[in-house]
Amino acid sequence: MRFAMASSINIKNGLLTTKNSLHIKIPYPTFKQRPTEIKCSRALTTGQHNEQYCIDVVRKRDYEGFLCSLLFPEAVRRSALALTAFNVELAQIKDSVSQKTIGLMRMQFWKSAVEDIYRDDHPAQPVSAELWRAVRKHTLTRRWMLRIISEREKDLEDKAYRNLQELEDYGENTQSSLLYLLLETLGVKNVHADHAASHIGKAQGILTCLRATPYNSSRRKVYLPMDICMLHGASQEDFIRGSRDQNVRDVIYDIASQAHVHLQHARSFSENVPQAAMPAFLQTVVLEDYLQRVRKADFDVFHPSLQKRNPVLPLQLYLRSWRKIY
């Protein structure tokens, strides 16, 4: 190939222009991708899309869970986000369907998706695809995933909990099961960590029910344990009206107190829980924050301050993560 030498060379529209108006067109090199390279490129693009989908779902539907996931070690953060997105997808089914039959069909979809994942059948749905990746990487226990689905399926009955024990069972089967899976991503196999996860999950299930009371009441639905409501003479209509009477506050106090007891039990194991488990237990910061705020509101679950995000929560989570305590 001959090279043309000239002064004052400028690049414009793929041409080399000189003062002598000499135009030499330089052809762009072309590369032919091998089939394997094309396949890997597509797989990478799809994987990035699936990961971003999970991030967006969690950030939008479970902001606090999203903040906690960001504080997981980088090696397991993607798997933690996948599991949290899985939990979010199941949790929103109840409120997003108008008929129980449709909800059951969606639950069946997730049951089938989990079975396909453990048959090593790569799914197409973004959250399922990320779960498949997490299962292969961490050898996650199928039983915990199926237990979350089964409990969410039972919750489609749309009835109030008969007693506090039922609400605790719901927390154990959903939130605690998620924590067991998160512990597996962190490589933690410790009986004390499992006990702590059980109590944290129960506390989270109880407080999630409390926090959702204003929203549910606006839709004329009340799920608070009936035995506690009857004990204090509070009717479902009281909650639907957004009553701030003392008997309504007493109901909230009793339920919140039980969540506090579970939180204290969970912390009683802290000396024997490996530090590696701490990222999975950062939700305790969120639970403690709500308990403090509802106490400050004198257990008025409808108080406007409880409907706002805590602006310093990210800092609180970071500090707790840095100190490696829960």
Q: What is the CATH number of the domain that holds 225?
A: 1.10.600.10
Do the domain assignments include residue 96? no
Do the domain assignments include residue 283? yes
Residue 20: in which H helix or E strand, if any? none
Query: What residues make up the domain containing 234?
Result: 159-310
Do the domain assignments include residue 65? no
- pLDDT at site 46: 80
- pLDDT at site 45: 76
Low pLDDT (below 50) residues in the chain: 1-29, 31, 36-41
Do the domain assignments include residue 88? no
Q: What is the distance in angstroms between the CA of the first residue and the CA of the last residue of the chain?
A: 69
Of 201, 206, 186, 208, which is closest to residue 62 (Cα–Cα)? 208
- pLDDT at site 107: 97
Alpha-carbon distance 301 to 242, whole Å?
Answer: 9
CA 261 to chain centre: 24
β-bridge partners, 172? none
Number of domains into which the chain is organized: 1
Please say whether the beta carbons of 160 and 222 come within 8 A.
yes
Do the domain assignments include residue 43? no
Do the domain assignments include residue 97? no
- pLDDT at site 1: 42
Do the domain assignments include residue 236? yes
Q: Please give the model's pTM, rounded to 2 decimal places.
A: 0.85
Alpha-carbon distance 243 to 246, whole Å?
Answer: 9
Tell me the pLDDT tens digit for each residue of 80-107: 999 999 999 999 999 999 899 999 999 9
Do the domain assignments include residue 214? yes
